[in-house]
Structure 1
């Protein structure tokens, strides 16, 4: 059984009752009140309808201000890791808890699909789904999930102009659909194991979660995980259905953002959320100066795996950078094979040693590393490149595009913490294919349409 709760806006002046019939599309309540009805996850109707209301082409920062203003305390570990580890702990100890996952978004929403939050029985939250707009209401729905031990879907639709008056009063003009699952359920525990391994290994793959289904062998919360190496993990018993879901993965195998889709299979219909799982971003820093520690700490809070490499013994490096994922002693001569980096890696050169920087750039520029940051003034970087050219090295335009010298965004940094913020912000800008400018000057949506699971 799966509970489907819609939190929605009025469509007419006169309140209309919510339909009590089983429907594969979103339920609507024109009175603007929260409504709750229980439907079988195997008895929904045919196709998912598009969310009603016109989707905004351009996010309005002022309309979403009520959601964006809330602040949250920094976490020592990444939010994603904290949610997963705490959820696994509750499941292993038999403690009650509900895992909330955003499975679909449209329009202006604070978080994207794939975001998770843990709701414990006494109300403690780990992570967040919104900026405080939805958490209280979700906690009430989580209590029902704990009572029934069944998954539930909750939809919040704030696309109506009069939502501020009659609805939840968020003013965000978006739709978000959330799946609530008891952490003790077999499917939730299996997915948590998969998510945990994704944070610890270098393997990649696609995780498919069944959001709604009319198929008797595919309940809400069922899953399939397809690793790039070809391994398949799933609680779906029908082999043909598994093949159908694998085909859906291959159909959009270039998509690294979560997506929501509906598929038909032998007369049955399923709504799915598909996520690409990959290892945390790998950041390699060459150097051991005091300016590196703030970068390591900030990177850790983002869930990045940071490796510090320098001439000092590993024991000394570990004392200097206890929050680094790993430390290594720089070997001579320098070789790219000894760094364990690839096309997804990010590298910072912060040795404060001119000759060492030359040797590092000699091997890093021809590599496939996606980002190379060189500390120091622009003239110093140009001198290093001139030296390499004089020695006969051919430096291409593509290589120069990956080289950032001076390193960081122009935010007026002075202190080591401010410099770290500048550097990490530039890395995030590059990996997100953004410009790093003011959001108020952006002439399109805050989140790319390709990142919407709709």
Structure 2
């Protein structure tokens, strides 16, 4: 049994779409929770008839039973609901450890409910657009356990019982292609981000060092503005170790819709790059920071990469 439990929503749907057409799937979705829980209302995973699971709903304590319940709902072709109560930590049934209650609904995906419009959700995400996903998952009639009674909505004004905001992958642009870029790329990809690397120098941005990068750009800095717009880049880090290249990148990205640009190096270098970019700082649209990342200590590429990606992650979820 394969457990693709580290995938984000986009990757879950991509893996589901690319799976064998002979597979039958069910959605396991948290429709409500009370108190503390590992994941919150609206989180979902997909499970097929063989027990293969895409995505997770807990830290691992519920997953075996979730797979069992999903396979049962597929076999019966019925919508099922189960309550997982973690308030009693002496109960060894699931050993949730969160101290809350989670209600999970299991829904067969089939033609009767248009596979809950998940194909349409994926199409929107692939265009790097956010999705407002709605689900009416229960009713007062006596046939509420039929898959065809579950209705889903994509970017609709309908006020569903459950509404989820699904955002596209975070897109990180790394300006610079030295050896210290490799762990930044690796950490970002582990989080499911889209990663692009730009460095026009022949000896840098080696494909062997950046096997996880989605895109490697070797063009002049003038391409960065249009690339950032078309590919909807969220964050950029300038780490070429060349004041001239960093300044060129900042100049080109100064009027972009990038949310945050971080500059590697000490505060003095930050000021030098901003001065050399030729744009008055108050006219630079993205938020700037430097030194890049969180101050977590360490001076090796891996710890610096961790601090950079952690800072961007916090910004993405409004923690800074």
Give the TM-score of the pair, scaled to structure 1: 0.60
Q: Distance in 2 between matches of 1:341 and 1:74?
A: 33
Q: Could you tell me which of 99, 102, 107 is aligned with 2:30?
A: 102
Q: Distance in 2 between matches of 1:142 and 1:212?
A: 17
Structure 1 unaligned spans of 5+? 1-72, 227-231, 233-245, 249-270, 436-454
Task: Report the alpha carbon displacement of residue 349 of structure 1 after superposing the two structures with TM.
Answer: 0.7
Q: Does the 8 A contact of 1:116 with 1:128 survive in 2?
A: yes
The question of 1:178 aligning with 2:178 is answered: no
For CA contacts below 8 A with separation 6 or more, give which structure has more relative contact order: 1
Q: Does the 8 A contact of 1:101 with 1:116 survive in 2?
A: yes
Alignment of 1:226-265 (within 5 A): 226=155, 246-248=157-159
Give the TM-score of the pair, scaled to structure 2: 0.82
Partner of 2:44: 116
Q: Does the 8 A contact of 1:117 with 1:126 survive in 2?
A: yes
The question of 1:408 aligning with 2:293 is answered: yes
Q: Distance in 2 between matches of 1:225 and 1:283?
A: 27
Q: Does the 8 A contact of 1:377 with 1:405 survive in 2?
A: yes
Partner deviation per Cα, 1:46-103 (whole Å, 9 max, x = no partner): xxxxxxxxxxxxxxxxxxxxxxxxxxx997973434532443355x532244321223
Partner deviation per Cα, 1:130-151 (whole Å, 9 max, x = no partner): 1122223323322321221112
Q: Distance in 1 between matches of 2:34 and 2:304?
A: 36
Partner of 1:261: none
Q: Which runs of 4+ in 1 moved over 4 A?
A: 73-77, 165-169, 215-220, 315-320, 332-335, 341-344, 398-401
- Secondary structure of 2:183's aligned partner: helix
- C-alpha root-mean-square deviation of aligned residues, in Å? 3.5
The question of 1:84 aligning with 2:13 is answered: yes
Q: Distance in 2 between matches of 1:401 and 1:309?
A: 18
Q: Distance in 1 between matches of 2:264 and 2:48?
A: 45
Q: Could you tell me which of 56, 69, 73 is aligned with 1:128?
A: 56
Partner deviation per Cα, 1:233-262 (whole Å, 9 max, x = no partner): xxxxxxxxxxxxx243xxxxxxxxxxxxxx
Partner deviation per Cα, 1:144-178 (whole Å, 9 max, x = no partner): 2122111222222345xx56359755442322222
Q: Distance in 2 between matches of 1:341 and 1:405?
A: 26
Partner of 1:151: 79
Q: Does the 8 A contact of 2:171 with 2:195 survive in 1?
A: yes
Q: Does the 8 A contact of 1:158 with 1:167 survive in 2?
A: no
Q: Does the 8 A contact of 1:282 with 1:304 survive in 2?
A: yes
Please say which of residues 162-171 and 138-147 is displaced more in the overlay. 162-171
The question of 1:287 aligning with 2:176 is answered: yes
Structure 2 unaligned spans of 5+? none
Q: Give the number of aligned pairs.
A: 316
From the superposition, tell whether residues 350 and 137 of structure 1 become closer, same or farther in structure 2 (CA, over 3 Å).
same
Could you say which structure has the larger radius of gyration?
A: 1
From the superposition, tell whether residues 282 and 149 of structure 1 become closer, same or farther in structure 2 (CA, over 3 Å).
same
Please say which of residues 373-382 and 80-89 is displaced more in the overlay. 80-89
